[in-house]
Structure 1
């Protein structure tokens, strides 16, 4: 029987106070890792730490409040969480905006948060992984990296760049015990998605039913025909973060229900 055992490993999960990031932190803690959660605001970080501890009593959990959309924030996280065996670059922002209305400042914000946070945290933590000859770097990308939404061109472009970054870092770590991979979720029932879905849901519709309706209308190529649960994404990340995935690197692993219509 296969089991994911992360005892003795320390995982840093960026942007992990809610949604997919928090689900990943819970999953890694349950597998035995010491977990560092991160967000911009101290109260949100404190709540996330408690949520992980409730999920896995006795878990080792540290919280660091830092804005990773800035170089200073990335330095702050690296200084307060000095050890990292598993880095999950989850932090990201998204939103629908017509392309012609996206100004330079907004493009720069998406680049700083979605790409440079991963660049900086990888640069901070990969040297120690390479020195120990073991480590996992996981980028949380999106099916939008391959299926650029017309109303989220800046978001999709940033996620495409993330795939390139992850692939390049995997090659940089060639021949070592350090792997670098991307995980590509599709529509997922996070808190933000739930608010959006329920705002337009039909009377009496459950969240899951609203998710099905959204996918059918906006992602008709989906094979599963529904939005993913947070745990389904976190399960993939837990595997990729584990010793079991030692022959998987430089990969773009899709957890998007078959939306991307390619083999």
Structure 2
């Protein structure tokens, strides 16, 4: 299968590292003009430099904006008025006991993990409607199905991603615009590496992350963490013309962790 996204503009939120960066790289290699976002200019610049090496000849650009609030999206929409492919990847996570999570933290997780996707979709959907073509992808998590006891505030936001993607897809019935959610399982992004093995080598982090999967995600069929690129492969496909009949779906790249049929 040859995926050709030439002539399409893709915006990937939270894409300076991890799964977001892998998605940006995959889309760029498929020919899309890719827009990278991050909060710090130095991170954006570093990501663009890597992309230009990973996807030679690709059109890539980036913006340092805080997409954890409405003002950030207003700024980004002015800078990038056109978008054919939107990947709502921006998200935060972190373990915390339920009775120690204050109201402000619940609000912060909701603003970043849920409202960022709502605001982005609302901003660029009119342009997709005019073209009668578009792809919107919400990066959720297997935690949307298996709510983690130590990250309940994170899990509920990932469930919300799935619900919004499904509802938005239904609202676009009969159009050329598809909306889906992708649910990664444990994935060795930079954030996860820092959580399981702060300050240690990549090899050590991989070993510890795989041990975490076997101990705490015993239902995993893969029995290891995924790579960001393995998740990105699914996202690039969903964004392609070949995926035109896939919409309203919750697509799992979880290594079989969610023990449901």
The normalised TM-score by structure 2 is: 0.97
Superposed displacement of residue 240, structure 1: 0.2
Distance 2:36 2:62 in 1: 5
Match of 2:82 in 1: 83
Distance 2:87 2:258 in 1: 23
- 2:136–2:180 CA contact under 8 A, matched in 1: yes
Superposed displacement of residue 81, structure 1: 1.1
Superposed displacement of residue 198, structure 1: 2.7
Provide the aligned C-alpha RMSD in A. Answer: 1.5
Distance 2:245 2:202 in 1: 47
Distance 2:203 2:188 in 1: 14
Superposed displacement of residue 231, structure 1: 0.7
Distance 1:254 1:95 in 2: 21
Match of 1:217 in 2: 215
Q: CA separation of 1:4/1:100 partners in 2, compared to 1, >3 Å: closer, same or farther? A: same
* 1:137 alignment partner, SS class: strand
Distance 1:236 1:160 in 2: 19
* 2:31 alignment partner, SS class: coil
- 1:130–1:173 CA contact under 8 A, matched in 2: no
Matched, 1:38 2:37: yes
Match of 1:228 in 2: 226
* 1:94 alignment partner, SS class: coil
Superposed displacement of residue 204, structure 1: 11
Q: How many pairs does the alignment contain?
A: 261
Instruction: Specify every segment of 5 or more residues in structure 1 that has no aligned partner in the other structure, as ranges.
Output: none
Superposed displacement of residue 212, structure 1: 1.8
Question: In the TM superposition, what whole-angstrom CA distance separates every residue of 1:198-242 from its partner, at most 9, and x where no partner exists?
Answer: 3498x9964433222110111000001000011100000000000
1:134-153 alignment runs, 5 A limit? 134-153=133-152
Moved over 6 A (4+): none
Match of 2:113 in 1: 114
Q: CA separation of 1:75/1:200 partners in 2, compared to 1, >3 Å: closer, same or farther? A: closer
Match of 2:256 in 1: 258
The normalised TM-score by structure 1 is: 0.96
Match of 2:125 in 1: 126
Match of 2:8 in 1: 9
Distance 1:115 1:221 in 2: 27
- 2:210–2:223 CA contact under 8 A, matched in 1: yes
- 2:193–2:206 CA contact under 8 A, matched in 1: no
1:51-90 alignment runs, 5 A limit? 51-90=50-89
Distance 2:188 2:149 in 1: 22
Instruction: Specify every segment of 5 or more residues in structure 2 that has no aligned partner in the other structure, as ranges.
Output: none
Superposed displacement of residue 82, structure 1: 1.3
Question: In the TM superposition, what whole-angstrom CA distance separates every residue of 1:55-77 from its partner, at most 9, and x where no partner exists?
Answer: 01111111011111110001111
Q: CA separation of 1:101/1:36 partners in 2, compared to 1, >3 Å: closer, same or farther? A: same
